[in-house]
A and B are shown apart, each in its own frame.
Chain A
């Protein structure tokens, strides 16, 4: 058995069903060996999108995504995708081919020090120098990627190692890593303190982040919130922790979030942050947040606790395990008055947006789109104004909301939607702007080649809208580098790939067009010509 055969066997042992990748000579032994297996191979059109697709796949199934690229430029092209996954703690295994061991460091053709280059974006990385290490390293890599605070792990495999014969293949049952033991169970004393604070509090609130979803704790959170009547707000990565219309859910916080969600957080006397980083976009002044309230911070990564704000009660552990432990406690509390107040804030909230009546309103399109989408559909938002409209107007029923939150990587939605569709087989809708669409539109070929039915919505305003909006405020409307003149005719792009195309150009008949767009389970593009000067809020 060769090293390449062993790599493939490891993937089978880990139950990998799909890999996303792009070949090159240095990874050819692997792509040759994979032919003997049933693992689905998806050829993307640029390596970055292999990582994004693996991310969408991983998030749709709560599993580990796998992407594979060659040495040199193949590997460096992966980096943005790896960094995007790292920022949102998405478990990925990124396999790269490498030049022969004896040539390492001599700058031969297509050599790049990828483990060095990707160091600050990976949870861990390996450069395999002995073929017999392959089973152990793959076992460890999957373990590291999928436990504790999840994240991407890179495995760089020189070509001679892929071709070398392995003495005996035995996939380890367990890993032995003396230095890696993530805390799963929360500390009992700290958990007791949580309940003590809850019984004292009059206005508690939970702020849920992406960690809740990654830990598979959505249902547990909902049960906990409902049991005691604790209102919940979320960060952008936390969207989908609860259905949008849940009586205890009060929307997304932050600069781009709902005013009543921020007000709820500010007026609370007990804030429980769960699986959230207290990042700048969610909490703009972290030092002020603890002024008039008790802060409990629950996270699997001890580094996040106290990084941006010092909590009164830190609680480290896996969120699911902690919620399970919460079930062993019982207190009597009454937060009805607080919930009434928050509901009043929500009812009183008026959207104060300038809407140009000549154009279709993107907010209306997003909400009607989500109303018409399947109950368990997956909505993938890109980055830019489209993301702001998506966060604020998408109605989560029982589906999943995906976006690049931490890194804000444009072009994420289409490849991630491909991965999510292959993984989940649910209805998947990617929503992007004309800028982000053009960053990933080469993937329409991948969609055609592998017959991946995804629905793609393009908000076309001819601008890099969110940057233009920033220049509007910061530079008094002096625009620079944001005009997308020269963009193609999207109907022709769709026709070139033989993909059905629809267009919304006026505020009338939006629902009808969306219904036609979603009517079958086939790929389609819906272009929405929106006001070139509309704002995200």
Chain B
């Protein structure tokens, strides 16, 4: 089972280490992790995607809550979330695959953000699934470098909210 943890923490040095250390010490998985400041400069948000059985997922939430630097945790399933990842992919192109690359980008709404004679950089900001799909589509093309953020997520708004 996959679970998303949106964790608000005190924005102090060493807090990320404490949170990440908790995961490694207790053998919890980290599928992805993203950190950033929030609207309040004293508060940072850590978005963690983890997986495990129900007991583990519950323990993760409890153990995170126990950390004194953790202010608040929201836990939700992927289906209850709006989640996005950003990926930058630098690929080698030539006149034979250039058209194909452009087609893939167009279909998946990816952008070409940089280009030289033989290299181009593709950017996609989308759900983790869609990013995985882009990576699959690019399987036959020589990829030079990939940089990818972790998943960022917020709980979906309820209609009556």
A301–B25 CA distance with the chains assembled, in angstroms? 18
B69: which A residues are within 8 A, CB to CB? Answer: 179
**Chain A nearest CB: distance from B53 CB in Å?**
12
Residue in B21, B25, B62, B68 whose CB lies within 8 Å of A302: B62
Contacts of A178 in B (CB 8 A): 71
The answer, yes or no, to whether A24 is at the interface (CB within 8 Å) is no
Q: Mark A333-352, 1 if CB is under 8 A from B, else 0.
A: 00000000000000000000
In whole angstroms, how far apart are the Cα atoms of A177 and B59 in the complex? Answer: 23
**Quick one: which of A127, A177, A301, A303 has the most chain B CB within 10 A?**
A303
Chain A contact residue count (CB 8 A cutoff): 18
Question: Which residues of chain A are within 8 angstroms of B10 by Cβ–Cβ distance?
Answer: 179
**Taking A302-B62, A303-B59, A303-B63 as contacts, is the C-beta distance between A179 and B70 under 8 angstroms?**
yes
State whether A120 and B66 are in contact (beta carbons under 8 Å apart), knowing that A179-B10, A179-B71 are contacts in the complex.
no
Given contacts A144-B68, A302-B66, 17 further A-B contacts (CB under 8 A): A115-B14, A116-B17, A120-B21, A124-B68, A127-B14, A177-B68, A178-B71, A179-B69, A179-B70, A180-B68, A302-B62, A302-B65, A303-B65, A306-B58, A306-B62, A307-B59, A310-B55
Taken together as a complex, chains A and B put the C-alpha atoms of A120 and B22 apart, in Å, by: 8
A144-193 contacts to B (CB < 8 Å): 144, 177-180
Closest partner residue, chain A, to B67 (CB atom): A179
For A144, give the chain B residue with the smallest CB separation.
Answer: B68
Cβ–Cβ < 8 Å partners of A219 in chain B? none
Shortest B9–chain A CB gap in Å is 9
Q: Is A119 an interface residue (CB 8 A)?
A: yes
Q: Min CB distance, B19 to chain A, in Å?
A: 11
**Of residues 8 to 25 in B, which have CB atoms within 8 Å of A's CB atoms?**
10, 14, 17-18, 21, 25
Q: What's the dominant secondary structure at chain B's contact region?
A: helix
Known: A177-B68, A179-B10, A310-B55. A120 touches B25 (CB 8 A): yes
The docked-state distance in angstroms from the alpha carbon of A123 to that of B17 is: 15
Chain B residues with Cβ below 8 Å from A119 are 17-18, 21
The smallest beta-carbon distance between A289 and chain B, in angstroms, is 15
Give chain A nearest CB distance to B10 CB in angstroms. 7
Which B residues from 64 to 106 make CB contacts under 8 A with A? 65-66, 68-71
Q: Which residues of A contact B71 (CB under 8 A)?
A: 178-179
Taking a contact as CB atoms under 8 Å apart, the answer to whether B58 and A301 are in contact is no
- In the complex, what's the smallest C-beta–C-beta distance from B3 to chain A, in angstroms? 16
Closest residue to B62 on the A side, CB-wise?
Answer: A303
Residue of B nearest to A307 (CB): B59
What is the distance, in angstroms, from A282's C-beta to the closest C-beta of chain B?
A: 19
Query: What is the minimal beta-carbon distance from A300 to any residue of chain B, in angstroms?
Result: 11
Q: Can you name the residue of chain B whose Cβ is closest to the Cβ of A310?
A: B55
Complex interface: chain B residues within 8 A of A301 (CB): 66
Cross-chain pairs A/B with CB under 8 angstroms, 16 sampled: A115-B14, A116-B14, A116-B17, A119-B21, A120-B25, A127-B14, A144-B68, A177-B68, A179-B68, A179-B69, A179-B70, A180-B68, A302-B65, A303-B59, A303-B65, A303-B66
| Chain B, interface residues (CB within 8 Å), range | 10 to 19
- Shortest beta-carbon distance, B59 to chain A, in Å? 6
The residue on B at minimum CB distance from A153 is B68
With a cutoff of 8 Å between Cβ atoms, the chain B residues found around residue A180 in the complex are: 68
B55 proximity list for chain A (CB < 8 A): 306, 310
A residues within 8 A CB of B70?
A: 179
CB distance from B27 to the nearest CB of A (A): 12
Q: Using Cβ atoms and an 8 Å threshold, which residues of chain A touch B17?
A: 116, 119
A120→B66 CA distance, assembly (Å)? 13
CB under 8 Å from chain A, chain B span 107-134: none
Residues on B with beta carbons closer than 8 Å to the beta carbon of A144: 68
Which residues of A have CB within 8 Å of B14? 115-116, 127
A53 vs chain B, min Cβ distance (A): 26
In the bound complex, how far is the Cα of B56 from the Cα of A307, in angstroms? 8
Nearest Cβ distance between residue B8 and chain A, in whole angstroms? 9
By beta carbon, the residue of chain B nearest A119 is B21
CB distance from A176 to the nearest CB of B (A): 13
- Indicate with 1 or 0, residue by residue over B31-71, a CB within 8 angstroms of chain A CB atoms: 00000000000000000000000010011001101101111
CA distance in complex: A178, B70 (Å): 10
- A149 nearest CB across to chain B (Å): 8
Residue of B nearest to A303 (CB): B62
Chain A residues, CB < 8 A from B21: 119-120
A328 to B49, CA, bound (A): 45
| A302 to B55 CA separation, bound complex (whole angstroms) | 13
| Least CB separation from A123: chain B residue | B68
Residues of the B chain whose Cβ atoms lie less than 8 Å from the Cβ of A120: 21, 25
Task: Name the CB-closest residue of B to A301.
Answer: B66
Residues of B with C-beta under 8 A to A124? 68
Complex Cα distance, B70 from A306, in Å, reads 21
| C-alpha gap A144/B69 in the complex (Å) | 12
CB distance from A124 to the nearest CB of B (A): 5
Note all chain A residues with C-beta closer than 8 A to B59. Answer: 303, 306-307
Q: Which residues of B contact A303 (CB under 8 A)?
A: 59, 62-63, 65-66
Q: Which residues of A contact B66 (CB under 8 A)?
A: 301-303
CB proximity of A297 to chain B, nearest CB, Å: 13
Q: Which residues of A300-342 are within 8 A (CB) of B?
A: 301-303, 306-307, 310
The 8 closest A-B pairs by CB, nearest first: A303-B62, A120-B25, A180-B68, A124-B68, A179-B71, A303-B66, A119-B21, A302-B62
Residues from chain B with a CB closer than 8 A to the CB of A179 are 10, 68-71
Q: Which residues in A have their C-beta under 8 angstroms from that of B62?
A: 302-303, 306-307
Nearest CB in chain A: distance from B20 CB, A: 10
Binary flags per residue of A102-142, CB closer than 8 Å to B gives 1, else 0? 00000000000001100110011001000000000000000
State the CA gap A124–B17 with chains docked (Å).
13
**Closest CB in chain A relative to B13 CB, distance in Å:** 9
Q: Across the interface, which residues of B come within 8 angstroms of A123, CB to CB? A: 68
Most buried by B among A177, A178, A307: A307
B24 smallest CB distance to A (angstroms): 9
Per the bound structure, the CA–CA distance linking A93 and B21 in Å amounts to: 22
CA distance A127 to B12 in the complex (A): 11
Given the complex of chains A and B, what is the CA–CA distance between A185 and B14 in angstroms?
32
Chain B residues whose CB sits within 8 angstroms of the CB of A307 once the complex forms: 59, 62
Q: Which residues of A contact B25 (CB under 8 A)?
A: 120
- Whole-angstrom distance between the Cβ of A228 and the nearest chain B Cβ: 31
